[in-house]
Structure 1
Amino acid sequence: MHSNQILKSLFLFVAISSMAVAVFGICNSCQTNNVACLNGTHYRFCSDSVAADQVVQCPDGKVCTDLAVICIDEGVTDASCSATAADGSCPTCDGTNTFVCTSRTTFQMCNGNELTSQVTKCKDNKICSIQSGKYCVDLCEAGDSIECDRESPL
C-alpha cells in the first residue's frame, strides 16, 4: 500500500514536471533549434550558410526561445536569453553621460539630466552601444549587453 502511494506521487511529479517549460539558454549560444538568441527578442541562425551578422527580430509580443517554434508569445514561456530588462528600460541622462541609447537603434545627447531633442539613428543592421565607445555596433559585437531594448525612443 505504501509503495502504491509513492508511485502515485512519483507519477504526479513527472506529469507536472513535463508541463513546466524551463529555459536555461545562454545568450548568443547556438541552441537545439539551430538559432542563438541574442537577447529576449532577437536571434541569429547557427549555420555556415547564413552570415552571422544577419539578425532576426521576433514579432511584437513574442520572445526568442530554444523551442522548435523560435518566437513564442510573451508570458507563455521565458525567453532563453534575457540579458536585457524585460520592460525595455534604457539608460537616462544623469549628469555624467554625454549620450544615452534611447532605443535599440537610436541615441540622443544629454544636457545635464535632460535629453536634447535631436535623435540620431544607427545605420541599418546596427544597434546603439554607447558603452562600446563606437555609438553603434553590429548586434554580434554587442553580445548580451544591449543597452536599450525599446523599438523606438519615447
Structure 2
Amino acid sequence: MQRIIAIVAIVALGVSFASAQSCQTCLSDNDVYCHNQTSYQNCMKNAPVGSVVQCPNGTVCSNSDEVCVSSSQLTSTILDVCGTSGSNGAMCEVCSTNAKYACVSNSSYARCSSSGDLLTSNVYSCGTDEICVIQALSIYDTLCVPACAAEFVDISATCSNSVYQPITTTAAPATTPSAEEKQQACSVGEASSSASYFFVRNTDDSTCNSYLYCQKSGTDWVALFMTCGSSKPFFDTTTSKCVETKPASCS
C-alpha cells in the first residue's frame, strides 16, 4: 500500500516539475544557451545566436529571465545551470537557500550547513531502487523516490553521476592559449568564416575539449577561451558545437 501511495505521489510530482535545464543546451525556461557558469548566448529556434555575453562578477548563468543571478538567488527552480559539480546536473551538489539536504549522486545525498555549505563528511544512500530527486523534498518531505515511479512519469535523478566524487579545484590546463595565441587563432579562423562571430578549435589542445569564441573589435579580436562540458566533451569544428563523440577532425 505504501508503495502505491509513493507512486501516486511521484506521478503528481511529475506534473509540477519544470523541464530539465542543462549546460550547453538552449534552455526552455528563458531561451538562453549557457556556455559555462559565467557566459551565455541567446537562443532562437532552439539554437544559440548573437554574441557571447559575460555575466557580471559574482553571478552565474541561470534559467531565470534575468539570466545572470547571484548565488543567493538560486532556488530549487532557479538553477546554476552549468553548476560546479562537473556537469552532473544543475542542482547536483548544490545547497539552495535554507536547504537541509542536497543530492550528490543519482542515489545519494548529503546535509547542508546553515550557511549553505555542502557537508560531505557523511554521504547517505537512498534505499534499494530509489533515486535522489531534490525537488521532491519540498513537496513530499523526501528526496529519495522509487525509480520505477520516476521512470513512469519521465522524471530523472537530480544528479547524473552514479557515485559521488568530491569536487576538486585544479589550475588552468597548460593548453590554455596566451592572449597573443588567441588573437592569432581568431585571425586564422576569420579566413574560413564570414560571420560577425565564430568559434575555432584550440589547436594546442589534443583532447579537443577547448575552443575559442572570436568576435572582431576594430582591428583586434574579442577572444574568449571556452571548454566543453563533461556530457559533450569534444569540440567539433564542422558544426562549431560541443558533441558527445570524438569527431574525425580531432587528431
State the TM-score, normalizing by the size of structure 2: 0.31
Q: Which has the higher contact order (CA 8 A, sep 6+)?
A: 1
Which has the larger strand fraction? 2
